[in-house]
Homo-oligomer: A and B are copies of this chain.
Amino acid sequence: MSDIDQKNTRNRVDTVQKCLEDIKLILEDHQYESGFIRDQGISEPDISGDVKRVESLSNLRDKLDEMHPADIAAMLEQLPLDERLIVWKFIPSELDGDVLLEVSDAVRETLIADMDAQELVAATEQLDADEIADLAPNLPEEVIADVFSSLPEEERLQLSAALSYPEDTVGSLMDFEMVTVREDVTLDVVLRYLRRLERLPSNTDKLFVVDRREVLKGVLSVNDLIVSSPETRVNDVMLTGIVSFYPDRDAESAAHAFERYDLVSAPVVDAHNRIVGRVTITDIVDYIREDAEQESLGKVGLRDEDLFSSVWKSAKNRWLWLAVNLGTAFFASRVIGMFEDSIEKLVALAALMPIVAAIAGNSGNQTVALIVRALAFEEINKSNAKGLLRKELAIAVVNGILWGSVAGAFAWLLYGSIALGLVMLGAMLLNLIVGAGVGMLVPLFLQKMGRDPAIGSSVLLTFSTDSMGFLIFLGLATVFLV
């Protein structure tokens, strides 16, 4: 992130809502007064007309001038598309790049679609190489080419590097703003060197100590730099056992390391231990949030969706998931279809069968949630996987007998047949075992296939517990009751 002065940040969180309301009022004023904004579109230099209108639009500009780019981004997320684009036009152009970085993918698309190539190049050029790389997937190719050719040699190399790392690797989170020093100088020399820099990159809690071939020798914490006597040499206070990462390492493991060791920044090195960049807690926090968000949306088959996108676009975003689930529902329906004769003879089966399917689905989803979490924290390995499977199956047996008895008693009381109650108990027990086995094995299998076990496990589980639940219950009933 480029450095924005911390101006007016006190209680800023509360004021986003306030600004949003003010801006909405200003916008409404205009539409009401003259239809000016909606009818004619807005282009900044054209603002003329009555004094009041000009005044309130300049109010809008003042408001935006005072706001932090992250707050502007938060506000844009909350505005319907037409109002969002009006406000976007009034945002000081030097903030365009920072705001684009802060908004969600879905909203970013709408803003970029509203800009011409020249504006995009201007907005992008001000950013650091790693930030340009973050925007790149949303930018037209000619814009990237233009920006690329406008960059100085060093940043061009950095941009190429940043673009080369796949999403969710350490390389994709990396920036290039590291400060390096040599080990054989005194802290006084280091301090004088830093004063010449005039400002330090954000999240600089440590300096990287390298030799002349850029090989990482250790780190000098800024705190040690401050509290140690200026005559001390760097290699007397630097730490040598340090957490570093390779750029092709997956981002999740870096996030775990930041969490475990309470890091603020960490060096990224190549195979020869030469420093190539750094990762900071800021990028890690963004990664953790985005990852959690993608997961909770991914579980229900959604990609990031702009709250205010069109009905048609949103509907399409939800199709794949509905189609997949309709497929599994059709399959389960055909399982029931196989037993239509039995149901005709004993219609109670129709009322009871969803219970068998549902409870095994719920129980299996508990297993999935625990296994997915354990996989994320790397708590499952070859030596304990078998024991865990045995444990989940044992829990299914305990719960199957308990809740199967409750459901069986319900069936018995309601339909006056002990045999029906026993079939219910048997089916619940067996289907809970199916749920536990599938709930344990599916996430492990997805993980092994290199897919995210948090996404997709649940569909496969429900598919199994529905189909098997109907098959087991109706099958047992057909054998013993009908």
Give A contacts to B, CB under 8 Å. 1, 5-13, 17, 20, 24, 68, 70-71, 74, 77-78, 80, 102, 191, 194-195, 197-200, 202-205, 222-223, 225-229, 239, 241-244, 253, 256-262, 264, 281-282, 284-286, 288-289, 292-293, 295-297, 299-302, 305, 307-308, 311-312, 314-315, 318-319, 321-323, 325-326, 329-330, 332-334, 336-337, 340, 343-344, 347-355, 357-359, 362-363, 365-366, 368-370, 372-374, 377-379, 381, 383-384, 387-388, 391, 394-395, 398-399, 402-403, 406-407, 410, 414, 454, 466
CA distance A407 to B244 in the complex (A): 54
Pairwise interchain contact B369-A299, C-beta atoms closer than 8 A: yes
Pairwise interchain contact A241-B6, C-beta atoms closer than 8 A: yes
Closest Cβ neighbor of A258 among chain B residues:
B285
A403 neighbours in B (Cβ, 8 Å) = 322-323, 326
Pairwise interchain contact B340-A350, C-beta atoms closer than 8 A: yes
Pairwise interchain contact B241-A9, C-beta atoms closer than 8 A: yes
Task: Pick the contact of A194: B226, B244, B297, B402 (CB < 8 A).
Answer: B226
Pairwise interchain contact B261-A286, C-beta atoms closer than 8 A: no
Pairwise interchain contact A370-B297, C-beta atoms closer than 8 A: yes
Given A10-B244, A305-B370, A347-B344: A377 in contact with B74 (beta carbons within 8 A):
yes
Pairwise interchain contact A340-B347, C-beta atoms closer than 8 A: yes
Task: Pick the contact of A362: B5, B321, B334 (CB < 8 A).
Answer: B321
A369 neighbours in B (Cβ, 8 Å) = 296-297, 299-300, 302
Pairwise interchain contact A12-B243, C-beta atoms closer than 8 A: yes
CA distance A354 to B244 in the complex (A): 53
CA distance A71 to B297 in the complex (A): 31
> Smallest distance from the beta carbon of A247 to chain B beta carbons, Å?
15
Given A68-B261, A77-B379, 7 additional A-B pairs, CB 8 A: A9-B243, A13-B256, A191-B226, A199-B223, A225-B226, A259-B286, A336-B354
Given A205-B205, A410-B330: A8 in contact with B311 (beta carbons within 8 A):
no
CA distance A200 to B205 in the complex (A): 12
Pairwise interchain contact A350-B358, C-beta atoms closer than 8 A: no
Pairwise interchain contact A336-B351, C-beta atoms closer than 8 A: yes
Pairwise interchain contact B330-A355, C-beta atoms closer than 8 A: yes
> Smallest distance from the beta carbon of A420 to chain B beta carbons, Å?
13
A372 neighbours in B (Cβ, 8 Å) = 296
Task: Pick the contact of A325: B203, B262, B358 (CB < 8 A).
Answer: B358
Pairwise interchain contact B13-A257, C-beta atoms closer than 8 A: yes
CA distance A267 to B260 in the complex (A): 23
Task: Pick the contact of A80: B228, B384, B395 (CB < 8 A).
Answer: B384
